[in-house]
Amino acid sequence: MAREISLKTIDDRFRQKIKEISGQNFQQCFQCGTCSGSCPMTEHLDLMPRQVMALIQFGQADALDVAKTPFVCASCHTCMVRCPRGLDLTKIMEAVRLVKLRRNVNEIEPSNLQPEDVTEMPQVAMVSGFRKLTS
Amino acid sequence: MKIAYYPGCTLKTKGKSLETSALACMGQLGIEAEELERWNCCGAVYSLADDDLIHIVAPVRDLIRVKQAGHDKVITLCSMCYNTLARANELMRHDEEKRKTINDFMDEEPDYTGDVQVLHFLDFLRDEIGWDKVKEKVTKPLSGMKVAPYYGCTLLRPKEVAIDRADQPEVMHSFLETLGAEVVDFPGAIQCCGTYQVLGNPDAALKVSHDILSDATSHGAEALALTCPLCDYNMSKRQDQMLQKYEGAREVPIYYFTQLMAIAMGIPVEECHFELNRESSVQLLKSKNLVTG
Amino acid sequence: MSIVPQEETTATETKMVPIYIMGKRYEVPATLTIMKAIEYAGYKYIRGCGCRGGVCGACSTVYRKPGDYKIYTGLACQTVVEPEMYLTQMPFYPANRTTYDFGELTGTPDEINRLYPELFRCVACNACTKVCPMDVQVMDYIAALKRGDIQAAAEISFDCIQCGLCASRCMGELPQYHIAQLARRLNGAYLTPKAEHLQTMCANIDAGRYDPGLAELKGMDLETLRNTYQSREMEPASAGEDWTPQDKSHL
């Protein structure tokens, strides 16, 4: 997928926002791909974590706004433990999620949960799921 | 020995087998766990956003309750609670600015400075009780039972709250060895079960949980021991779906670590509430003559 | 004792205080409740006013005081005005109320979770408790429900008058007061122990156990009935639990 990277497409405010929310200097990422190799969710992602990092570095807000990867991330912290640059990718993923969720957008709708799933599920699933996936 | 105990949202209903078996074991070891009189759900996941403090309020409130009850240590059984409480505690200890904001916001509560110690039952057993003491209480060793220790994420990551090494943890290995089990080491022990993605991406969560279980069995495990009610849901309650969906998927009995401890200590089986486990869990114990009837 | 006329207060002598109703300043008598002060100022309640006795939950007021960041609340019919307070009435606050066939419920936590999954969006910020005009520990009953303790939630929420202020402040967007009502209903119908002796007694009545005695009374003339009543054997006030009457034929 070719993307135009130019002053026209780089959204610097988005980059600032991600930096503010995550507290991480994502420019340190040197695209080694250790995160992608460590992620347990790899086969379910539309973008590898490394690609998410690249898109953030280039302020590609539009692409990240429709990306599934941040919402498939389970915050397991494996990438963070292994990142040779010491970046906390879980915080960066959270920041990308929050940029969207804070516009009052829900990734999942609590009221649309199947009654039988709610009956089966432990409370901790809903508490954590709503935290991560609802606004 | 008295210690404050924080159960968390799931341990009174869906995860009560974790609580009842653990409390029975504590009783055997002479540990008096005093459940906090007043507590709220910790939020299960620690907020990862630097500008979001409201989600830290819930765990901090619980830590304040620990102090109010006159304790300086609190023990958890659910590893997600452990992680959330411990990380909130670290923040209150080390981040002066955020500490002040949170304390100011909770103007109805006394200020908190992070002076409670948050422990998980596993590191409490290792560091404060000692495996020797635990071993003394083992009356029915789990001999010949090949158990894979599953740590998951929240006991090991991130480093500031890890109860053991993130890459090669040992605490649960030692725990199971103490109980007399044959410990099956496997790489999946530290991998993620998919956790809350059971809501957002249930298929993905099922697959990663299945990967862990097949990794465990391919290394010779007969069963898996774990510490978290959400891991338990993903790997035990949803196992039927795996058996249907994935070719070659095998039935794997799943236990809370405390259930195995209770069995090894000869605690009445009712305390384990095995009705909440897979049927195969009881069958395996019967086949090893650890449970009769 | 005689009434001294000079001590009688009249409207002109009453101490007046300024209050702000929806931003507009009014001078009202300092002794009035908010509800009466609003009426004194010329407003007429056609809604948002019910029992005037502090139990119906229709007249919640939200107010602030100058130079004070805190949000104050009260029931307009119970709260006396304070100088310089600025207030608005909150007669209703929209909140998700699910429909359910109560007869199909059995009193398990899962039923509440299913009807109100947003329960798990609570972050324990405690804004609900702080805003409750009845001093209900709202956050605590939500905490109890999250862990599946319906009975505790029913007890903690007992004083709730359904005014809805908790829902107005909730960052998790929970309808606390509706959830609590469901908890109290489930507790009352399914979780509170049944009075077994009452059921036995009802069954006995249905089976005609007391019919002969009643027929006997009905057949008496007035004089006999009066004498029977007056000479009846009464349980002494100091009787213990094991007391039984001499004549056991009607037990």
What is the residue extent of each domain of chain B?
Answer: 2-122, 139-287
Domain assignment present for residue C246? The answer is: no
Let me know whether C161 and C176 are in one domain.
yes
Let me know whether C106 and C186 are in one domain.
yes
Residues of C in contact with A126 (CB under 8 A): 113, 117, 120
Q: Are C121 and A132 in contact (CB under 8 A)?
A: no
* DSSP string covering A14-79: HHHHHHHHH---GGG-----HHHHH-TTGGG-SS-HHHHHHHHHTT-HHHHHT-SHHHH-----HH
Q: Are C145 and C119 in contact (CB under 8 A)?
A: yes
Which residues are paired to C19 by β-bridges? C26
So what's the pLDDT on residue C4?
Answer: 52
**C131 vs B: CB within 8 A:** no
**A41 vs C: CB within 8 A:** no
Total domains in chain C come to 3
Find the DSSP H helices in chain C: 34-40, 109-115, 127-131, 138-146, 150-156, 165-169, 176-186, 196-206, 211-218, 222-230
pLDDT in tens, B182-192: 999 999 999 99
So what's the pLDDT on residue C1?
Answer: 47
CB atoms within 10 A of CB B87: 21
Q: What angle do CA C180, C186, C191 make, to 5 degrees?
A: 125
Residues of B in contact with A98 (CB under 8 A): 49, 52
Domain that holds residue C24: 15-89
Q: Are B247 and B212 in contact (CB under 8 A)?
A: no
So what's the pLDDT on residue C10?
Answer: 56
**A108 vs C: CB within 8 A:** no
Average pLDDT in the A55-65 region? Answer: 97
pLDDT in tens, C72-119: 999 999 999 999 999 999 999 999 999 999 999 999 999 999 999 999
Domain assignment present for residue C4? The answer is: no
Residue C12: band (very low, low, confident or very high) from pLDDT cuts 50, 70, 90 = low
Does the structure show a pLDDT above 90 at B154? Answer: yes
Please judge whether C121 and A110 are an interchain contact, meaning their C-beta atoms are less than 8 angstroms apart: yes
Task: Write the residue in C96, C117, C121 that is nearest to A113 by C-beta.
Answer: C117
Task: Write the residue in A74, A126, A133 that is nearest to B194 by C-beta.
Answer: A74
C-alpha to C-alpha distance for B237 and B109, rounded to whole angstroms: 39
**What CATH number is attached to the domain comprising C164?**
1.10.1060.10
Domain assignment present for residue C50? The answer is: yes
User: Identity (one letter) of the amino acid at B280?
Assistant: S
**What proportion of chain A, given as a percentage, has pLDDT over 70?**
99
Please judge whether C139 and B40 are an interchain contact, meaning their C-beta atoms are less than 8 angstroms apart: yes
Please judge whether C118 and A123 are an interchain contact, meaning their C-beta atoms are less than 8 angstroms apart: no
Please judge whether A80 and B157 are an interchain contact, meaning their C-beta atoms are less than 8 angstroms apart: yes
Q: Are B16 and B46 in contact (CB under 8 A)?
A: no
Please judge whether B55 and C140 are an interchain contact, meaning their C-beta atoms are less than 8 angstroms apart: no
C-alpha to C-alpha distance for A87 and A28, rounded to whole angstroms: 8
Task: Write the residue in C118, C146, C147 that is nearest to A110 by C-beta.
Answer: C118
Average pLDDT in the A75-84 region? Answer: 97
The CA radius of gyration of chain A, in Å to the nearest whole number, is 16
Let me know whether C114 and C181 are in one domain.
yes
Let me know whether C207 and C166 are in one domain.
no
Domain assignment present for residue C2? The answer is: no
Q: What angle do CA A8, A14, A16 make, to 5 degrees?
A: 115
* Helices B16-28/B257-264 angle, 10° precision: 40
So what's the pLDDT on residue A2?
Answer: 85
Domain assignment present for residue C216? The answer is: yes
Domain assignment present for residue C1? The answer is: no
Tell me the nearest-neighbour CA distance from C121 into chain A, angstroms.
6
User: Identity (one letter) of the amino acid at B106?
Assistant: M
Residue B155: band (very low, low, confident or very high) from pLDDT cuts 50, 70, 90 = very high
Does the structure show a pLDDT above 80 at B6? Answer: yes
C-alpha to C-alpha distance for A79 and A90, rounded to whole angstroms: 7
Residues of C in contact with B106 (CB under 8 A): 126
| Omega before residue B158 within 30° of 0, cis | yes
Tokens in use for C10? 């009249």
Q: Write the CATH number of the domain with boundaries B139-287.
A: 3.40.50.11810
* DSSP string covering B33-89: EEE-SS-----SS----TT--HHHHHHHHHHHHHHHTT-SEEEESSHHHHHHHHHHH
* Helices B257-264/B171-178 angle, 10° precision: 20
* Helices C138-146/C176-186 angle, 10° precision: 60
**What CATH number is attached to the domain comprising C71?**
3.10.20.30
C-alpha to C-alpha distance for B51 and A21, rounded to whole angstroms: 6
Q: Which of residues 15-74 of B touch A (CB under 8 A)?
A: 15, 41, 43-45, 47-52, 55
C-alpha to C-alpha distance for B13 and B9, rounded to whole angstroms: 8
Which residues are paired to B147 by β-bridges? B183, B223
So what's the pLDDT on residue C247?
Answer: 85
Buried b (16+ CB within 10 A) or exposed e, B128-164: ebeeeebeebbebebeebbbbbbbbbbbbbbeebbbb
| In CATH, B2-122 is 1.20.1050.140 | yes
Dihedral sign for Cα B181, B186, B189, B192, please. Answer: negative
Does the structure show a pLDDT above 80 at B101? Answer: yes
**C97 vs B: CB within 8 A:** no
What does residue C16 show for φ and ψ, rounded to 5 degrees?
Answer: -105, 145
